[in-house]
Amino acid sequence: MADLATSGDDERVKAIPAWRRALIRPELGGMCGTVIVFVFFLLTAFDSGMFAPQGIMNWTVVSAQFMIIAVGACLLMIAGEFDLSVGSMIGFAGMMVAVFGVVLGWPMWIAILITFALCISIGALNGWIVIRTGLPSFIVTLAFLFILRGFTIYIPQTIESKTIIGGIRDAAEGDWLAPIFGGKIGGGIFQWLADAGLIDTFTRGNRAGQAVIDGVPMLVVWALILIIFGHVLLTRTKFGNWIFAAGGDAEAARNSGVPVSQVKILMFMFTAFCATVFAVCQVMEFGSAGADRGLLKEFEAIIAVVIGGALLTGGYGSVIGAALGALIFGVVQQGLFFAGVESSLFRVFLGVILLGAVVLNTYIRRMITGER
């Protein structure tokens, strides 16, 4: 008697076609978008220097900025929540580093650590309010968007009568922690490549003979670390399964013993951590903190995650996909400049690609759930 447990012999079990299995991979949209974007700019901006070593470094740094906040937003969205305060958190965190380290004169490492503790606590508060009140995270974090932005403007105006505080590089001179966010690595490798004639060097001034690329900024290193951490956490750990469960069906997850409330609060904290990493790297690079930093970054992070295949309803997504979405952002933003296209069209691109990604993700969700 044939074994009916074998799917090949049981006509009730339908094999999923390979093309359909590929379609339901969350990274698919990000992969396709990345290929299309690179092909487009290879054809239109290849001779502009976009793919020269310095051009590659430019769009890599911009992409890394998006990647850092996209990783936090991705895990939080998979857990079924949103954080619209990310952009304001970036501005607030940068301003706190400046206030603590420059205005109050504290050692920069203390200023950085206290800023991280403060911002992560605010992230925990966001999560706690969402869990305790049952309010949509959209509303709670929208409120904190305005609260944090208001404090970011009020505090420096009250203390210094201005909304930009400089002197961060001088205050960070000789500090042991600041280079972890504002330093560069691999300078010797790039100089070796320059000496070998593989990359350009400066031809004038005090830096004549030095490589035009003097290292990989720590911003890029942080982006890679967070992507690897987020991917491993999501795909290789029990906690990653809890994140999917919390966003897919919170009530069923609770009945199965998943600590849904703790998972969601931790994801809010991690999102705040990523925003603070971005902020500290930014102020170390610019040497100043401004009250307008981080504007619209929350929406850019969400768009990158959606492009990467995450569903707005939660329970489905990929950190790698979110990273690819962020890469698309960085390449397009810099590519428009290299191609000589009006930079304002970048916002048009964001709107178009967001709409396309949502339509694609909705189709995928219906395939997964069997809805029509």
Q: Is residue 196 part of a domain?
A: no
10 Å CB burial of residue 43 (0-12, 13-18, 19+) is: exposed
Q: Is residue 356 part of a domain?
A: yes
Q: What is the CATH number of the domain that holds 250?
A: 1.10.3470
pTM of the model: 0.91
In which domain, by residue range, is 161 found?
Answer: 51-179+238-369
Distance of CA 279 to the CA centre of its chain: 12
Q: How many domains does the chain have?
A: 1
- What three-state secondary structure class fits 201? strand
- What three-state secondary structure class fits 153? helix
> 105 near 166, Cβ under 8 Å?
no
How is residue 241 written in tokens? 């399964």
Q: Is residue 128 part of a domain?
A: yes
> 277 near 222, Cβ under 8 Å?
yes
Q: Is residue 330 part of a domain?
A: yes
Q: Is residue 309 part of a domain?
A: yes
**Segment-wise mean pLDDT, segments of 10 residues, the chain, 372 residues:** 46 54 70 87 85 90 95 96 96 97 96 98 98 95 97 95 94 95 92 85 80 91 98 96 95 94 98 98 95 91 88 89 92 84 78 77 66 59
> Distance between CA 213 and CA 302 in Å, rounded?
31
DSSP 40-66: HHHHHSGGGTTTSHHHHHHHHHHHHHH
Q: Is 45 left (phi over 0), alpha (psi -120 to 50) or beta?
A: alpha
> 153 near 147, Cβ under 8 Å?
no
* E strand intervals along the chain: 164-165, 184-185, 216-217, 289-290
The reported pLDDT for the residue numbered 90 is: 97
Q: Is residue 20 part of a domain?
A: no
Q: Is residue 173 part of a domain?
A: yes
